[in-house]
Amino acid sequence: MLFTRRHILKTAAAVAILPVAAEAGYPPLKARLSRQRVAPDGFPDTTVWSYGDTVPGTIIKVDQGARVQRKLVNDLPQPTSVHWHGIRIDNAMDGVPGLTQDVVEPGGTFDYDFVVPDAGTYWYHAHNQSMEQVARGLYGPLIVAEATAPDVDQDLVLMLDDWRLNPETAQITDDFDNGHDLSHAGRIGNILTVNGSFDPAFAVRRNERLRLRLVNASNARIFDLDLDGLSGWIVALDGMPVETPLRLSGSFPLAPAQRADLIVDVVTEGETASLVSVERDGSFGLARFEVGGNAAGAHRHGVSALPSNPLPEIGNLQNARTHRMVLQGGAMRWLESARLGDTELSGRELAQLGKFWALNGYAERPEDPFLDAAVGSLHRIEFVNETAFPHAMHLHGHHFRLIMDDGSLGPWRDTVLVGRGQARQIALIADNPGNWLLHCHMLGHAASGMMSWFRVS
Ligand code: C2O
Ligand code: CU
């Protein structure tokens, strides 16, 4: 870490959730350059790429079942598109250039128009040259409110990011094609932010109950998160409620693109509580909760599960078609060869083209889908990680259930972390017609080979 000093920010950077207002017309979503203070006080502002002039971009909050309409206006120097991560969306609105739409050229626009079937914590981000565009700040929260929201005093979105800034100028380094990053853990940064600020402060009161919507928007960093002075439960993962809230004890991982909704009580006896990133060389405070007095009323006990979303029934796994996706390559397990289109290339040739990884022998999105599924069919996919690095595998347009080691069905997710040398199985009902990406959400890995797709028809 280059930026390790603790600084007290003068302004709180809370993204507090306000009541849902009726959406007036088509508010434009302007992607353009802006400046903001990302590094600690004393450093210059950073030029970022953002939606609506802030990172995270403009919060989009709608009711479950509502229609979202946004006109993307591209005022960036690069073509772009927007992907609505975790939304079980109409395929034409999924925002994948070359698969579901054309890129939006600089000066161009695209009208996104879709319905959000599930309540929960989602996000949107650029999906063209994502490795660079997300690193520059093109992401924002998409919050879908439950018809009956849980009883909390504050509902806060906390978007975590990991920036790589030049330590003198505080500008984003443009080494996006760095072969070492691509072939190793990805673009790991040197400053951690919450809602685009270093060590922001949120005002709370003792005994208040908070809903914290954590989103990992970083390129490649797997956070190991812990709480200090807050106590509670995980109530949703990747937007979807867990059947039984999980009592928090000790740290928990949050891989790139994953979300966790927590309901926590402010239990500290001190002046601050905090969200902490646990690292090899100690713990690092990501955000502070400054206690200003006591909340009236007694500290509540227990929490109930969030209302469930209209997800499909998985049914009997015996009836599932089984598929294997092998994750290959990267440093220490270099590819011997893999395919680009019809051609089998050696690992050396691939490396020269900036390809270091492969999924089932393909070092880029293949011509034919990994899986051709009938609408409504049930699939068991086993991710076999033969590499020396963890990967966060994400499916578009669907959530799936983890299959636990004992064969039981685990939580619904849209992104699963597969540790090095590990195998993870998921159960998928392919019920959303269209062409859907399946890729590693370490964005440098996706750019350098870990990209595939499946078709539902
Ligand atoms: Cu959040 Cu294809 O990505
Ligand atoms: Cu990866």
Q: Which two tokens stand for residue 413?
A: 């997710």
* Alpha helices, H only, 96-160: 130-135
pLDDT of 25 reads: 67
Q: Is 83 in the pocket of ligand 1 (CB under 6 A)?
A: yes
Ion ligand 2: residues, Cβ under 5 Å: 391, 440, 442, 445
Report the candidate in 236, 214, 216, 238 with the shortest Cα–Cα distance to residue 88.
238
Residue 21: count of CB within 10 angstroms of its CB: 8
Is residue 45 located within the same domain as residue 155?
A: yes
> Residue 324 falls within a domain, yes or no?
yes
How close is the Cα of 108 to the center of ligand 2, in Å? 31
> Residue 4 falls within a domain, yes or no?
no
In what helix (H) or strand (E) does residue 411 lie, and over which residues does it extend?
strand 409-413
In degrees rounded to 5, what are phi and psi of residue 7?
A: -130, 145
Helix (H, G, I), strand (E, B), or coil: what is residue 361?
A: coil
Range of the domain at 438: 317-456
In what helix (H) or strand (E) does residue 446 lie, and over which residues does it extend?
helix 443-447
CA 183 to chain centre: 21
The closest ligand to the CA of 187 turns out to be 2
Residue 310: count of CB within 10 angstroms of its CB: 10
How close is the Cα of 240 to the center of ligand 1, in Å? 17
The closest ligand to the CA of 357 turns out to be 2
Distance CA 80, CA 103 (A): 6
In what helix (H) or strand (E) does residue 347 lie, and over which residues does it extend?
helix 347-352
Is residue 359 located within the same domain as residue 279?
A: no
Is residue 246 located within the same domain as residue 393?
A: no
> Residue 304 falls within a domain, yes or no?
no
Distance CA 270, CA 290 (A): 9
Ligand 1: nearest atom to the Cα of 125: 1
Among 294, 327, 361, the domain boundary falls at: 294
Q: How far is CA 302 from CA 231, 263, 265, in A?
A: 11, 10, 10
Is residue 274 located within the same domain as residue 364?
A: no
> Residue 386 falls within a domain, yes or no?
yes
Smallest CA separation from ligand 1 atom 3, residue: 85
How close is the Cα of 43 to the center of ligand 1, in Å? 32
pLDDT of 10 reads: 33
Smallest CA separation from ligand 1 atom 1, residue: 85
CB 186 within 8 A of CB 220: yes
pLDDT of 11 reads: 35
Distance CA 344, CA 104 (A): 32
**Per-residue pLDDT for the chain (457 aa), expressed as one digit of tens each?**
444 433 333 333 445 555 454 455 678 999 999 999 999 999 999 999 999 999 999 999 999 999 999 999 999 999 999 999 999 999 999 999 999 999 999 999 999 999 999 999 999 999 999 999 999 999 999 999 999 999 999 999 999 999 999 999 999 999 999 999 999 999 999 999 999 999 999 999 999 999 999 999 999 999 999 999 999 999 999 999 999 999 999 999 999 999 999 999 999 999 999 999 999 888 999 999 999 989 876 557 799 999 999 999 999 999 999 999 999 999 999 999 999 999 999 999 999 999 999 999 999 999 999 999 999 999 999 999 999 999 999 999 999 999 999 999 999 999 999 999 999 999 999 999 999 999 999 999 999 999 999 999 9
CA 16 to chain centre: 19
Among 241, 260, 294, the domain boundary falls at: 294
> Residue 9 falls within a domain, yes or no?
no
Residue 367 maps to which CATH number? 2.60.40.420
> Residue 11 falls within a domain, yes or no?
no
Is residue 344 located within the same domain as residue 392?
A: yes
How close is the Cα of 8 to the center of ligand 1, in Å? 34
Q: How far is CA 20 from CA 144, 180, 244, in A?
A: 10, 45, 27
How close is the Cα of 128 to the center of ligand 1, in Å? 10
> Residue 3 falls within a domain, yes or no?
no
Is residue 241 located within the same domain as residue 355?
A: no
Is residue 190 located within the same domain as residue 50?
A: yes
Q: Sign (positive/negative) of CA torsion 228, 231, 233, 239?
A: negative
CA 332 to chain centre: 27
pLDDT of 363 reads: 98
Report the candidate in 322, 452, 308, 307 with the shortest Cα–Cα distance to residue 393.
452
Among 243, 259, 294, the domain boundary falls at: 294
Express each pLDDT in 376-435 by its tens digit: 999 999 999 999 999 999 999 999 999 999 999 999 999 999 999 999 999 999 999 999
CB 229 within 8 A of CB 135: no
Report the candidate in 225, 219, 221, 220 with the shortest Cα–Cα distance to residue 237.
225
Distance CA 329, CA 387 (A): 6
Is residue 110 located within the same domain as residue 220?
A: yes
Is residue 419 located within the same domain as residue 273?
A: no
Is residue 247 located within the same domain as residue 161?
A: yes
Is residue 217 located within the same domain as residue 352?
A: no
In degrees rounded to 5, what are phi and psi of residue 244?
A: -125, 120
> Residue 119 falls within a domain, yes or no?
yes
Local structure of residue 102 (DSSP, 8 states): -
Radius of gyration of the chain (CA): 21
Is residue 287 located within the same domain as residue 243?
A: yes
Q: What is the pTM of this model?
A: 0.94
Q: Is 88 in the pocket of ligand 1 (CB under 6 A)?
A: no
* Alpha helices, H only, 286-440: 347-352
Ligand 1: nearest atom to the Cα of 439: 2
Domains of the chain: total: 2
How close is the Cα of 251 to the center of ligand 1, in Å? 25
